[in-house]
Amino acid sequence: MRHRVWNAIASSFLLGAISSLSSAIAAPAAHEPPVPATRTVVEGLLLKEKGTLAPKDIKAMGKDADLVLIDIARDTHASTTLRTRAVDALAASGTVVGREHLVRITTANNNEADLPLVRKALLGLGWMHDGRIVDNAGPWLEHKAPAVRLDAAVALALSKNPQAFELLERHNRTEKDTDVRHKIQLLIKQYRDEQPKSVPKSAPKPRILPPPPMEGRR
């Protein structure tokens, strides 16, 4: 009898231990803080990922990746390819810090060597629908390089801002490059086609009815 009691106690203890162990294994791990972004990781992802960067790509870089991206964009010793990719990534990040740096690039950059960064920053601001794109892209429509004027026009169109298209219509009258002017005209047409069509109003009914015909009078 005593042997059976001890067996029952041992079995109960063993089952409890197994249950506790199973619960510990099944329990989710404690929330770990995000790993800070490092320049090595960010540069590796910038050069690895091809095409347009997505927010998930920026998140994969680690915490405060936008600050690392700004450091890369500012680094005049880095390759132009890497720096322009960093500017692209700042637009994809969607952070306030990233957006403000794009504005800074387009307003305080007179270095011809940094024109690829300016063009990417303009396109990024347009894609983000930033309201300052009208003021920021306007001066670049007058740049001597047709490629810069073209990107400025595309950036304005990306913003979907009515004022941006008013600016494009005005510039279209003075643009001398055939390809740029054709692109601007196409952008304007696409914008107009996307606008909701207004339904013509029916003519209001006259307040005073016309008199009946003569044969109907008495």
Q: For residue 146, what pLDDT is reported?
A: 96
Q: What total of structural domains would you count in the chain?
A: 2
Encoded amino acid at 122, one letter: L
Residues 116 and 88 in one domain: no
pLDDT at 27 over 60: no
Q: Are residues 50 and 121 in the same domain?
A: no
Residue 24 reports pLDDT greater than 50: no
Residues 81 and 119 in one domain: no
Residue type, 36: P
Looking at per-residue confidence, does 56 or 215 come out higher?
A: 56
pLDDT at 113: 84
Is residue 4 included in any domain, yes or no?
no
Residue 41 has pLDDT above 60, yes or no: yes
Q: Which helix (H) or strand (E) holds 171?
A: helix 162-172
Q: In 10 A of CB 148, how many CB atoms?
A: 19
Percentage, residues of the chain above pLDDT 90: 61
The tens digit of pLDDT for each residue in 45-99 reads 998 877 778 888 888 899 999 999 999 999 999 999 999 999 999 999 989 999 9
Residue 211 lies in a domain: no
pLDDT value of position 197: 78
Residue 65 belongs to a domain: yes
121 and 163 share one domain? yes
Residue 170: pLDDT over 70: yes
What is the span of the domain harbouring residue 89? 36-94
CA-only gyration radius of the chain, Å = 32
In a domain, 123, yes or no: yes
Q: Is the pLDDT at 21 greater than 90, yes or no?
A: no
Q: Residue 10: is its pLDDT beyond 90? A: no
User: Exposure pattern of 82-106 as b/e (b: 16+ CB <10 Å)?
Assistant: ebbbbbbbbbbbebeebbebbbebb
15 in a structural domain: no
pLDDT, residue 209, reads 61
Residue 121's pLDDT is 96
Are residues 89 and 118 located together in one domain of the fold? no
Amino acid at the residue 141: L
- 80 with 143, same domain: the answer is no
For residue 218, pLDDT over 60 is answered with no
Average of per-residue pLDDT values in the chain: 83
